[in-house]
A and B are shown apart, each in its own frame.
Chain A
């Protein structure tokens, strides 16, 4: 049994309409943030959910952390569904699952010291005695590299640098040794010269604590460095899924190929002739029929406009949702 399983996971957000509009139009408008995706994580994975804006990756991550309720579909952790009903079960869940938010500045209470912030999970979710908090907190702060802990304990978030704040956020998430951590763009808001620190920290913590991590990012390079398995999302659907090796040496879905080609490389010699898809990401209110990427795909043909491709396994073991591969048509994989 997989560590985390998501089946047909769906989330639609109803958009706020004005009072009058609600009375007048019968039709309700929905943002189809996540539209029926299925994937699973094995214990010890650093699993990447890669996508641009509107892909639904953050919403998916939130659903696996019980921060959003799925409109349809299920998510289960170790067999039991996420979103337990009973209060005591919820507490147990929160001990096992933690979420690292994207912006370290706004995910820390500006009026709370670092020490107190990291102690919060202990306060609510553990049976520890108050006087034992500080030693636990200090140990965690040291572990994430905020040393000496006594110096950082009494500081406020605005007194720290972006990278330090991110370490605090990580410390808070890991202080109770959870099993499953969702890291939402952990380095996007951190200075470039500090990103390696944070990525290495997460990898180190994963090893030391035996974590399973869902890494949500738009940055393919980060995913390549950190993740062993990756799913690429576009407009609420998974378009390709595979191991790090598979996705990067041999991207199969046209979108994955485009995404990879578009990333700028810090090497002026690489004259990559970029064949970029035209246009921009359509709105999730009204996704294109058939394959959602067809409006921008350089290989589009008739079937793509009407039939939505299913996410199917190839003979190499990865999964891809594209008519090119299961039609007997083009089976040339990758460029």
Chain B
């Protein structure tokens, strides 16, 4: 888990400090196209002569912001619905689960693609597209945990000392499912990065912004002529970021599982 945190921290730091670390503009041509890494352009240039180093530093921002927004939307929607529907149980629970399962069954990339194509490619829409598709995952996790906890004596005990519906959810169920939600959120983040980069890679969205996925889009052609640096570094960054979050997720879930005596 620590490794994951370190990786993510580095990526976030790089993205935040981009303006400080480089004054080279990532969007304009600043050098010869497809130039190999050199002292002037440490990581080379892409087919439009844009500095790769600068693009690497600036390229994470969009992805990270989308990730953050997506996770926020998902949690804000998925978790309360999950808690309420699962705790209430009965017909309500079954119906909501049915709806969620249907959304879950939808191929996520296609769905996100549709939303971005139809509604536009700004940060918010990306986040929305990913969120809609991911909410069922939160719902499922919240539901399974809530159902388990609901049966535990301490929930019964809470009711017998007079705790009402909302108090039980707020104080007895929610605090005990936070770890699982964190696990899902971190995976969500990793997935968001991959989907966003993926969408850019297929050419959807605003191709003028500095973005690792966009780099891959442009780099498709140049790789054939041997200019590996155009997709190598960007691809690596995507991989690292997604990996970082996945490691956090796994590491955290291991830690919150019952420890050995």
Contacts and interface: CB of A to CB of B under 8 A. Distances in A.
Contacts of B152: 106
A107 B157 contact: yes
A111 B163 contact: no
A128 interface: no
Contacts, number: 56
Contacts of A111: 175-176
B164 interface: yes
A112 B158 CA distance: 11
A90 to B, nearest CB: 9
Nearest to A102: B153
A121 B158 CA distance: 8
Interface string A101-136: 111001111111000000011011100000000000
Interface in A143-202: 169, 172
A124 B171 contact: no
Contact of A109 (B158, B162, B164): B158
Given A109-B176, A111-B175, A112-B171, A121 B153 contact: no
Interface string B61-85: 0000000000000000000000000
A91 interface: yes
Nearest to B173: A109
B161 interface: yes
A121 B161 contact: yes
B161 A172 contact: yes
B22 interface: no
A65 interface: yes
Q: Contact size class for B?
A: 10 to 19
Nearest to B172: A109
B122 interface: no
A110 B256 CA distance: 13
Contact of B171 (A67, A108, A109): A109
A255 interface: no
A99 interface: yes
B160 interface: yes
Given A109-B171, A109-B176, A110-B176, A124 B154 contact: no
A222 B154 CA distance: 25
A172 B162 contact: no
A107 B162 contact: no
A217 interface: no
A120 B160 contact: no
A94 interface: yes
A248 B157 CA distance: 33
A111 B162 CA distance: 18
A121 B175 CA distance: 19
A124 B153 contact: no
Interface of A: 65, 67, 91, 94, 98-99, 101-103, 106-112, 120-121, 123-125, 169, 172
